[in-house]
Each structure stands twice: as C-alpha cells, then as structure tokens.
Amino acid sequence: MGLGWVAKPNNRQCRRWTTSRIWGATFLCCMCLIFFTPRIPRSPKHHQFVDMRNLLDSPGVPNTLNVMTNFPFLVVGVLGLVLALEGGVFNISSQGEVWTWALFYAGIAGVAFGSAYYHLKPDDHRVLWDTLPMMVAFSSLLSSLVVERLGQRIGLCCMFALNLAAFLCVVYERIYNDIRFCMMFQLTLPLAIPVIAVLYRSKYTHSRYWFISTGKP
C-alpha cells in the first residue's frame, strides 16, 4: 500500500493565510479596545491652540494662521483631482484606481474647507467637518493600494466600506462624545498600508513611496 503525498501550499495560499491571520488579529484587538476600555470623550483642550491670534484688521479672521494654512491642501487637492481624473499623467492603468485616487484628492481638498470652517470657531459641533475629510482621504489612499495589489473589485468594495465606516465613526463620536472609533480607524489604516505593500506585489515601480506615505523609511 503506497503512501500518499500532500501537496505543499503555494505562495499565494500562504499569503492569503497570513493576511487572514493579520486581519483577524487586528479585528480582535479592535474589539478589545471597544469592549474593555472606557469611553474616551474629546477633551475641551482640543479646541485650545497655541496660536489663536487674529492677525487681520477688524473684524478679522479668528485663529488666522490656523485658517490660512489650509490653503495648500486646497491647491494640492484640486490639482491632484484634475490629474487623477485625466489619468494619463499618473499612468493609471484601471478605472478603479482613477476613482480611488480622485476621491483621495477630493478628501484632501475637503480638508481645506472643513479645517478652515472648524478653526474659525473651534467647538465640538464643527470638529467633525475637520475630521471627516481626513478620514475619507485615509480610506481612499488605502483603497487605491488595495486596487493596485489585490484587484479593482476588492479595492472598490474596500473604498465604499471604509468611507461608510469613516462616516459612522464620526457620527458615533458626535452623538456619544466618544473618540475611540475614530482613534481606532485612524491608527489602523497607516498600519495596514505597509502590511499590504509587503505581502502583495505591485504592478508598478517605486513601491517604497507607500512606506514613505505612512512615515516609515
């Protein structure tokens, strides 16, 4: 009676197994954070800035520098949005990448308006307009990486799911004055980018820029 042989898993199967374990561990950590930590309200000191001067003539602009320094976000966001929709400049190869990058730059442009609106009169009511565009940009950046590495269908599903999650996190914070979901959301995405960049091969060159985008050398 001969002995059968067991086929060794290929690299793709090993990668999928590793990815599943990573996402499973991440999900468990997030659930532990939610269920085993107390509510974290937004501190009133969040709205107190080091520089709150009004540098313009009456009536002026409150927190002048905090408001005016959002202008570069508008320039970069609008320019990037136009180039992403045009497609040829970035040498984008799929429509899914066009949508994710366009939404990323739209989020960057939205930061200019949302942050300026918040800094004109900082309070708990306006801070969500400062937070939401940033979370949209983070979500779209990760989604563009997923489209590039895992495919258009998965990436677009990721884009819709993450942006919906971002909206719900902000709404939850506003209703319950609890920033845990927003903290978890903003901490998880920068960690997910290098993990995906390492596990999945890119169809483009210069992949190291993905690590630079998360502040990792």
pLDDT 10s digits, 193-202 = 888 888 888 7
Residues in contact with 185: Cβ distance below 8 Å, sequence separation at least 6, in sequence order? 135, 138, 165, 166, 169
Cβ(98)–Cβ(84) below 8 Å:
yes
Alpha-carbon distance of 130 to 116, in angstroms, equals 8
Cβ(40)–Cβ(183) below 8 Å:
yes
For the full predicted model, state whether its pTM sits above 0.75.
Answer: yes
Cβ(182)–Cβ(131) below 8 Å:
yes
Alpha-carbon distance of 97 to 80, in angstroms, equals 13
Which residues line the annotated binding site?
Answer: 119
Predicted confidence at residue 92, as pLDDT, reads 73
Which residues line the annotated binding site for Zn(2+)?
Answer: 119
Q: In this predicted model, which residue has the larger pLDDT, 118 or 50?
A: 118
Res. 84: pLDDT tops 50 = yes
Residues in contact with 25: Cβ distance below 8 Å, sequence separation at least 6, in sequence order? none
Dihedral sign for Cα atoms in the order 21, 26, 29, 31: negative
Cβ(162)–Cβ(134) below 8 Å:
no
Q: In this predicted model, which residue has the larger pLDDT, 210 or 156?
A: 156
Predicted confidence at residue 37, as pLDDT, reads 80
Predicted confidence at residue 6, as pLDDT, reads 45
Q: In this predicted model, which residue has the larger pLDDT, 92 or 1?
A: 92
Confidence of residue 57 (pLDDT cuts 50, 70, 90): low
